[in-house]
């Protein structure tokens, strides 16, 4: 039996490493008495600090995304009714509506009636936009173009909540709006992005009329896979002329090609 103990310990250690490698969640971290180990405790404190910073951080479009990226996409910035980060955090309702000047700017600078309108929003993690948008937006644009869709001019909404989708729909009337927005940071990552999609959103529409692809980050949903899922889901919405609870995602990973993606725009009823 003594001869088996090293092998058992090695197998258990290898199994533990494999489990921990598959998820950013803290599992089987060990303990000292009834407490965390010092290493785990310090990691928790560091990740909590990163999450708090992510909520409070502000985006500087040129400094964080780069002039080349901004010029390539014609990216511009507008704001919601929330006039400060404190007001944004205390009054979620103000983050769901564009301010008057923002509505005018969006109407004046973006084409209306396009097939796909992409919007960037800081949400509760500006860091998520900085980390994910430069890789995700070009892939979305490429896939939309290959599907033969018209693509609106993307823009960035400061102090943004998900409900801003409704204002975008009212102002521009795109077939599908995709909002790429920073998720509430957790203790696993502060760089997780969500993609909310809605078919012809309008004032009064709630979450039941929207679809979501979440956890877009390095150890979650990879950007390339997220882009394919977003375009596939947008195609389903256009085909069915609806979104939300009545639209189920049917995308499954293929062998690395895009054969499962829309190749042309379905007829809009």
Regarding beta strands 77-79 and 155-158, do their DSSP bridges make them parallel or antiparallel, or are they unpaired?
Answer: parallel
SS (H, E, C) the chain: CHHHHHHHHHHHHHHHHHHHHCCCCCCCCCCECCECCHHHHHHHHHHHHHHHHHHHCCCCHHHHHCHHHHHHHCCCEEEECCCCHHHHHHCHHHHHCECHHHHHHHHHHCCCCCCEEEEEECCCCHHHHHHHHHHHHHHHHHHHHHCCCCECCCEEEECCCCCHHHHHHHHHCCCEEEEEEECCCCCCCCCCEEEEEEECCCCCCCHHHEEEEEEECCCCECHHHHHHHHHHHHHHHHHHCCCCCCCCCCCCCCCCCCCCCCCCCCCCC
Question: 164, 110 in Cβ contact below 8 A?
Answer: no
User: Residues within the annotated binding site?
Assistant: 162, 183
User: Residues within the annotated binding site for adenosylcob(III)alamin?
Assistant: 162, 183
């Amino acid at each position: 039996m003594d001869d088996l103990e090293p092998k058992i310990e090695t197998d258990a250690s290898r199994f533990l490493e494999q489990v921990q490698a598959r998820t950013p969640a803290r599992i089987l971290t060990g303990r000292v008495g009834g407490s965390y180990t010092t290493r785990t405790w310090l990691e928790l404190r560091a990740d909590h600090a990163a999450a708090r910073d992510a909520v409070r951080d502000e985006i500087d479009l040129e400094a964080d995304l780069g002039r080349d990226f901004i010029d390539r996409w014609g990216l511009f910035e507008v704001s919601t009714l929330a006039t400060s980060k404190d007001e944004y955090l205390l009054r979620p309702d103000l983050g769901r509506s564009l301010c008057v000047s923002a509505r005018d700017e969006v109407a004046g600078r973006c084409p209306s009636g396009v097939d796909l309108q992409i919007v960037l929003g800081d949400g509760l993690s500006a860091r998520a936009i900085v980390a994910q948008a430069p890789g995700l937006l070009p892939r979305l644009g490429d896939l939309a173009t290959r599907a033969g869709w018209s693509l609106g001019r993307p823009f960035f909404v400061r102090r943004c909540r998900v409900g801003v989708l409704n204002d975008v729909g009212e102002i521009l009337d795109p077939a599908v709006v995709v909002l790429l927005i920073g998720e509430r940071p957790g203790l696993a990552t502060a760089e997780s992005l969500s993609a909310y999609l809605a078919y012809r959103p309008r004032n009064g529409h709630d979450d039941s009329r929207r679809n979501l692809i979440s956890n877009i980050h390095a150890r979650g949903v990879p950007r390339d896979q997220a882009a394919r899922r977003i375009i596939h889901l947008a195609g389903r919405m256009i085909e069915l002329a609806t979104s939300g609870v009545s639209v189920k995602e049917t995308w499954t990973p293929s062998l690395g090609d895009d054969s499962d993606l829309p190749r042309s725009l379905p007829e809009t009823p």
